[in-house]
C-alpha cells in the first residue's frame, strides 16, 4: 500500500491532529481537505498542514490513497455515498468516530466492505476545533481499527503500520466488540459522571454548599461531564443497544447494593468495595482514588528517548519528589501525553512553575 495522497473530510481537533501528524512523520505525503469552514482550510494551508483546500467533496478526492472521514458520526455516513461515485478501488476509507456499528452498516449497504477500515483514536480533549489540533495528540494513545469484512489482510496490515508510524498504538477489533467495550469503559462512565453532576445540582440547597465542597475529588471523577453535549447525543443515538445493556447491568449492581444497605449487610458491602478496589488497582493507569484530592497535572511531551527522564531530572533539581508519573494511553478526554502526580499542594505548585519555566505546556485540572 503506497501512500502518496491523503484526504480529509473534516479538519477539527481529531482530523487536524491526524493531518499534522502525517505531515510531521511523512512530509512527502500530499494532503487535501474539505470542511464547511473555508477560513479553517485557508489557515491549514498557510500553516503547511494541508496542501490543498477543497470547496466540495468531488473528483479531486479520487487521487487519494486514504480518506479520513472526520466529520460528526451521523455526517460521515452521508459522505460515503458521495465518495463512492468517483473513488478508485485502491482508495482506503476510514473514519474517526466513537461508535462503529452505524457506519459499518452503511458501508455494507453501499458495497464498500472491501475498502473500509473503521478507526477510533482514543484521544481528545474537552476543547474542540482545528485551533486546538496538535501533531502529538494521538501519540502513545490507543487507536482502534475495525476492518470491513472483505478488506484484504495485507491492507489491514499496511494501514495498521501506517497508524503506528504516527506514534499511536493500533488495536484491531471487530466493530461490534469495539462498540460494546466503549459502551462499558467510555459511554456509560460519561452518563454516570453527568448523572452525578445532575444529582448534586438537584439536591443542593440555596447556599450551594454541595457545589462548594464538590471541588477536588468530585470534580476529578465528573470532569468528563464537561464534554460536548452534541457529541454525546450522537454517541448515545448510535450505540444505544450496547449502552442500554451496560446500563441495565449497572442498575442491577446498584439495586444489589441498595438491598445490602437496607439489610445492613456489612460483609456484602465490604466485599463490593474490596472487589472494586482490587480490580481498579489492577488497571494499568496512574490515576488515584476518586474521592480524594489528587495533586496531578498533565503535560505535553514528544515521544523521544529520555523525555521522561529529563522532566524527572528537572523536578529533582528543584527538590520536588514525584509520587507517580505515566503516559496516558487512553486519552479520549485528556489533551496531554503525560500525567504527573505530586504528594501535596506545595510540590504541585512548585513543579508547575518550574516546568513552565522550561517551556513545558502544562494543563491543570
Residue 341, C-alpha cell as written in the block:
502526580
Strand spans (E) along the chain: 5-9, 30-34, 52-54, 66-69, 92-95, 116-121, 142-147, 169-172, 296-299, 322-327, 338-342, 362-364
Residue-wise pLDDT tens digits, 43-102: 999 999 999 999 999 999 999 999 999 998 778 888 998 899 888 889 999 999 989 999
Which among 343, 353, 101 is positioned nearest to 241, based on CA atoms? 101
- Integer Rg of the chain from CA: 22
> What's the mean per-residue pLDDT of the chain?
89
Q: What is the pLDDT of residue 287?
A: 37
Q: What is the pLDDT of residue 285?
A: 46
When pLDDT is averaged across residues 123-144 and rounded to a whole number, the result is 86
Tell me if 44 sits within 8 A of 130, measured CB to CB: yes
When pLDDT is averaged across residues 168-182 and rounded to a whole number, the result is 95
Longest dimension (CA), the chain: 69
Quote the percentage of the chain above a pLDDT of 70. Answer: 93
Q: How far is CA 45 from CA 19, 54, 236, in A?
A: 11, 11, 35
Q: What is the pLDDT of residue 125?
A: 67
Residue 168, C-alpha cell as written in the block:
499511536
Q: What is the pLDDT of residue 211?
A: 85
Is 0.85 surpassed by the pTM of this model? Answer: no
Helix and strand element counts for the chain (H, E): 14, 12
When pLDDT is averaged across residues 190-208 and rounded to a whole number, the result is 92
Amino acid at each position: 500500500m503506497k501512500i502518496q495522497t491523503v484526504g480529509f473530510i473534516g479538519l477539527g481537533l481529531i482530523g487536524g491532529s491526524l493531518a499534522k501528524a502525517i505531515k510531521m512523520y511523512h512530509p512527502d505525503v500530499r494532503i487535501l481537505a474539505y470542511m464547511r469552514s473555508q477560513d479553517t482550510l485557508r489557515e491549514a494551508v498557510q500553516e503547511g498542514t494541508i496542501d490543498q483546500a477543497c470547496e466540495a467533496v468531488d473528483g479531486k478526492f479520487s487521487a487519494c490513497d486514504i480518506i479520513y472521514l472526520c466529520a460528526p458520526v451521523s455526517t460521515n455516513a452521508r459522505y460515503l455515498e458521495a465518495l463512492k461515485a468517483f473513488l478508485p478501488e485502491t482508495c482506503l476509507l476510514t473514519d474517526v468516530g466513537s461508535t462503529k456499528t452505524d457506519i459499518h452498516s452503511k458501508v455494507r449497504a453501499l458495497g464498500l466492505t472491501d475498502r473500509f477500515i473503521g478507526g477510533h483514536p482514543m484521544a481528545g480533549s474537552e476543547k474542540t476545533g482545528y485551533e486546538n489540533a496538535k501533531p502529538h495528540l494521538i501519540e502513545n494513545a490507543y487507536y482502534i481499527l475495525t476492518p470491513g469484512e472483505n478488506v484484504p489482510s495485507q491492507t489491514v496490515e499496511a494501514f495498521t503500520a501506517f497508524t503506528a508510524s504516527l506514534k499511536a498504538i493500533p488495536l484491531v477489533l471487530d466493530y461490534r466488540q469495539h462498540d460494546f467495550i466503549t459502551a462499558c469503559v467510555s459511554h456509560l462512565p460519561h452518563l454516570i459522571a453527568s448523572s452525578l453532576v445532575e444529582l448534586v445540582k438537584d439536591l443542593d440547597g440555596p447556599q450551594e454548599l454541595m457545589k462548594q465542597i464538590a471541588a477536588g475529588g468530585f470534580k476529578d471523577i465528573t470532569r468528563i461531564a464537561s464534554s460536548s453535549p452534541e457529541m454525546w447525543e450522537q454517541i448515545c443515538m448510535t450505540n444505544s443497544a450496547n449502552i442500554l445493556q451496560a446500563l441495565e447491568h449497572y442498575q442491577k449492581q446498584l439495586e444489589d447494593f441498595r438491598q445490602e444497605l437496607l439489610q445492613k449487610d456489612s460483609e456484602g458491602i465490604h466485599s463490593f468495595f474490596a472487589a472494586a478496589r482490587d480490580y481498579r488497582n489492577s488497571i494499568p493507569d496512574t490515576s488515584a482514588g476518586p474521592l480524594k484530592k489528587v495533586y496531578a497535572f498533565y503535560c505535553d511531551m514528544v515521544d523521544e528517548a529520555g523525555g521522561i527522564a529529563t522532566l524527572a531530572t528537572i523536578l529533582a533539581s528543584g527538590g520536588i519528589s514525584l509520587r507517580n508519573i505515566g503516559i496516558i494511553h487512553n486519552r479520549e478526554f485528556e489533551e496531554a501525553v503525560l500525567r504527573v502526580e505530586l504528594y501535596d499542594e506545595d510540590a504541585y505548585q512548585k513543579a508547575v512553575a518550574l516546568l513552565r519555566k522550561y517551556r513545558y505546556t502544562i494543563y491543570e485540572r
